[in-house]
């Protein structure tokens, strides 16, 4: 995939119900649940081809590096490539599985796996699996992505 797909959960109750490891979710703090909800919301906005997601979810100082990118991308570059990707691919379904989230003051680090099924302009379908580590900061009361790294695992694609 040439661009990063992300997902949404509106209610924190839905977040808890969707956790891959139910015991883990029961031990999560309110901040951890908020961070996970933001991660899912960003993925969902991208899947729904909501072109406003970079402005809504990325911090002004954002710098992220997907496995498919030759170098880290700032917020403006991520916005540009996201719009291009939306024209060339459609995410049909996706699933996120949290591994862990650490929150310290106004900074959070989240690790998770994902699986996506997508279709390109030619109608060809592909399923991919991968992992991400996201760094978020609480900015004026809202969690925003400061950085991320990860992407598709080429050894695990169907």
More confident: 18 or 13: 18
C-alpha span between 95 and 114 (Å, rounded): 6
- To the nearest whole number, what is the mean pLDDT of the chain? 85
Answer whether residue 26 is part of any domain.
Answer: yes
Q: Span 130-154, mean pLDDT?
A: 95
Q: Please tell me the pTM assigned to this model.
A: 0.82
More confident: 44 or 16: 44
Answer whether residue 47 is part of any domain.
Answer: yes
Residue 128, helix vs strand vs coil:
strand
pLDDT score for 155: 74
Answer whether residue 4 is part of any domain.
Answer: no
Query: Percentage of residues in the chain with pLDDT exceeding 70?
Result: 82
Range of the domain at 141: 12-156
In the chain, how many domains are there? 1
pLDDT score for 9: 29
C-alpha span between 93 and 35 (Å, rounded): 21
Q: Which CATH number characterizes residue 106's domain?
A: 3.10.450.50
The confidence band for 158, taking pLDDT boundaries of 50, 70 and 90, is low
C-alpha span between 1 and 9 (Å, rounded): 23
The confidence band for 3, taking pLDDT boundaries of 50, 70 and 90, is very low
Q: Check: CB of residue 73 under 8 Å from CB of residue 156.
A: no
Answer whether residue 87 is part of any domain.
Answer: yes
The confidence band for 15, taking pLDDT boundaries of 50, 70 and 90, is very low
C-alpha span between 7 and 15 (Å, rounded): 11
Strands (E), 105-141: 107-120, 125-139
Answer whether residue 5 is part of any domain.
Answer: no
Answer whether residue 49 is part of any domain.
Answer: yes
Instruction: List, for residues 67-98, the tens digit of each pLDDT value.
Output: 989 999 999 999 999 999 888 899 999 999 99
Residues near 152 by Cβ (< 8 Å), separated by ≥ 6?
Answer: 1, 67, 68, 128, 129, 130
């Amino acid at each position: 995939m040439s661009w990063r797909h992300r997902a949404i959960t509106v209610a924190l109750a839905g977040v808890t119900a969707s956790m891959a490891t139910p015991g883990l979710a029961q031990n999560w703090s309110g901040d951890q649940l908020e961070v996970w909800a933001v991660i899912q919301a960003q993925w969902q906005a991208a899947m729904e081809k909501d072109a406003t997601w970079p402005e809504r979810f990325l911090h002004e100082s954002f710098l992220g590096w997907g496995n498919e990118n030759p170098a880290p991308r700032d917020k403006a570059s991520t916005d540009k490539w996201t719009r291009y990707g939306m024209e060339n691919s459609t995410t049909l379904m996706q699933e996120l599985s949290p591994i862990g989230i650490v929150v310290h003051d106004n900074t959070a680090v989240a690790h998770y796996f994902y699986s996506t099924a997508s279709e390109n302009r030619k109608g060809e379908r592909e399923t991919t699996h991968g992992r991400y580590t996201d760094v978020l900061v609480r900015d004026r009361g809202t969690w925003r992505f400061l950085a991320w790294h990860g992407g598709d695992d080429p050894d695990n694609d169907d």
